[in-house]
Amino acid sequence: MSNLYFHYPFCKQACHYCNFHFSTKTQESERLWKAMLTELKLRKQELQLPLESLYFGGGSPSLLPPNILEALFNLLYKEYNMRSDIEITLEVNPDDVTKDYLSGLKSVGINRISLGLQSFYDRDLKLMNRVHSSDQALKALEFTSVLFSNFSLDLIYGMPYSTLLEWEQNLNTVMHYYPPHLSAYALMVEEATVLDRQVKKGEILLLPEEGVQEQYELLLEKTEKGGFINYEFSNFGKPNYFSINNQNYWQGNPYLGIGPGAHSYDGHALRKWNISNNPLYIKAIEAGELPLKEEKLSTKDRYNEYVMTGLRTIYGVSVAHIKNTFGTRYAQYLEEQAARHFSDHNLYWDGDCLKVTKKAKFLTDGLAADLFFI
Ligand SMILES: C[S@@+](CC[C@H](N)C(=O)[O-])C[C@H]1O[C@@H](n2cnc3c(N)ncnc32)[C@H](O)[C@@H]1O
Ligand code: SF4
């Protein structure tokens, strides 16, 4: 079983916080898509069939017309034994949404939409340099909820100048449409982004950490009341609507990433990633070469990754799994390190699994770092 990921590296405009790989120079988009199909063929033997999920991320894959996707699906059904009932997600930007576009996606086989709303406040959207307005976000949400039963909404909290009340209002707005899945991320200032420069120059004042924590805690409270399960730090799903794609990543299952900047994992220790440069990617693929780099993860790296993803998810960190996979030394180390966090009620044992208490959830990444093997 594995996941197949397509990274479509084009956007209409650069959001000021984003450091995902994308380009706003779309002239070569057709050539690049062709190169992605060639890469898929060149790496066919790396896919561990059957496919369990298919995911189109970016960048902005909602710039792709449905007929292009249909041609790909026909290839996947014919030559990769893909079943049409697996989870097939496409990330959609609100400014690309029309009823016709969404219906087109549905008719060619997309069965899950991930809609990048981010916020319903124009002040936030402007600060982010999003293409769309809050009105467009609302329209997109309305159409998506009518046309798709399986959809997810992306929101960003902890925005500069935002209040708890505004964040509550954003959550109320999305809840009104009964989404089966939500992803909510704290605004991260990524290096070398416009936001990073603005913050360094003092042009934008970030929300203090306590303000971000307050918004996260409100998110936990409201999603719980709304029947969501917080199955990963930033992800909330109704029962039966956890993302299969996300869960496979977090459970260390194999995935193949196609396109510039896309990462792949063999499910054991080998990670590969494509060059994050569109022209160089096209050039290499057209010459029949794979512009890939790879690294073999050490036992220590794999332990640390397992601890990080385990603590962030509802599954926790299983000491038995650590003993079987990484050895007794690592299991003992985990138990010793974790012991320091029981008296302050940040961590607890649920059977053989180490988990973060509700009150310490916001501190998850720091707690995981404390358990790392260094
Ligand atoms: C790579 S984006 C692609 C989705 C789509 N292009 C869009 O913008 O709607 C996936 C999600 O990551 C989140 N994201 C990206 N950069 C972030 C940052 N610096 N801080 C917080 N969230 C971020 C946003 O919520 C975004 O919807
Ligand atoms: S957030 Fe989405 S639309 Fe904005 S630059 Fe990043 S990938 Fe493109």
Nearest residue to 131 (alpha-carbon basis) of 99, 96, 157: 96
Mean of pLDDT values over 314-321: 97
The DSSP secondary structure of 183-220, one letter per residue, reads EEEE----TTSHHHHHHHTTSSPPPPHHHHHHHHHHHH
Indicate whether residue 14 lines ligand 2 (CB < 6 A): yes
Q: What is the reported pLDDT for 105?
A: 98
| pLDDT of res. 52 | 95
Which distant-in-sequence residues (6+ apart) come within 8 Å of 367 by Cβ? 311, 341, 346, 347, 356, 360
pLDDT tens digits, 41-76: 999 999 989 999 999 999 999 999 999 999 999 999
Q: How far is the CA of 180 from the centre of ligand 1 (A)?
A: 19
Query: What is the pLDDT confidence band of residue 327, given thresholds at 50, 70 and 90?
Result: very high
Residue 240 has pLDDT above 80, yes or no: yes
> Three-state DSSP class for 135?
helix
Residue nearest to atom 9 of ligand 1 (CA): 116
Nearest to 181 by CA among 143, 204, 155: 155
Ligand 1 centroid distance, CA of 169 (Å): 20
Question: Who lines ligand 1 at CB under 6 A?
Answer: 17-18, 20, 58, 60, 91, 93, 116, 118, 154, 156, 185, 187-188, 190
Structure tokens at 212: 């971000």
For residue 79, what pLDDT is reported? 95
For residue 183, how far is its CA from the centre of ligand 1 (angstroms)? 10
Round the average pLDDT of the chain to a whole number and report it. 97
Predicted pLDDT at 26: 95
Q: Which of 22, 119, 195 has the most ligand 2 atoms within 8 A of CB, as the residue to mutate?
A: 22
Those residues whose C-beta lies under 8 Å from the C-beta of residue 181, and which sit 6 or more positions away, are 150, 151, 152, 153, 235, 236, 237, 238, 241, 242, 243
> Which CATH number is 2-249's, of 3.40.1190.20, 1.10.287.990, 3.40.50.970, 3.20.20.70?
3.20.20.70
Q: What is the number of the ligand 2 atom nearest to the C-alpha of 58? A: 7
Domain boundaries, the chain: 2-249, 299-371
The answer to whether the beta carbons of residues 110 and 62 sit under 8 Å apart is no
> What is the 264 CA–ligand 1 centroid distance (Å)?
20
Burial of 30-58, coded b for 16+ CB within 10 Å and e otherwise, reads eebbebbbbbbeebeeebbeebbbbbbbb
Atom of ligand 2 minimally distant from the CA of 93: 3
* pLDDT reading at 1 higher than 90: no
CATH architecture of the domain with residue range 299-371: Orthogonal Bundle (1.10)
pLDDT for 31: 98
User: How far is the C-alpha of 153 from the C-alpha of 182, rounded, in Å?
Assistant: 5
Ligand 2 contacts CB of residue 22 (under 6 A): yes
* Cα–Cα distance list, 183 to 2, 19, 73, 202, 236 (Å): 22, 18, 26, 29, 6
* Residue 15 near ligand 2, beta carbon < 6 Å: yes
Q: What is the pLDDT of residues 146-205, one digit of tens each?
A: 999 999 999 999 999 999 999 999 999 999 999 999 999 999 999 999 999 999 999 999
Q: What percentage of the chain has pLDDT greater than the value 70?
A: 100
- The pLDDT value recorded for residue 2 is 86
d(CA 298, CA 302): 6
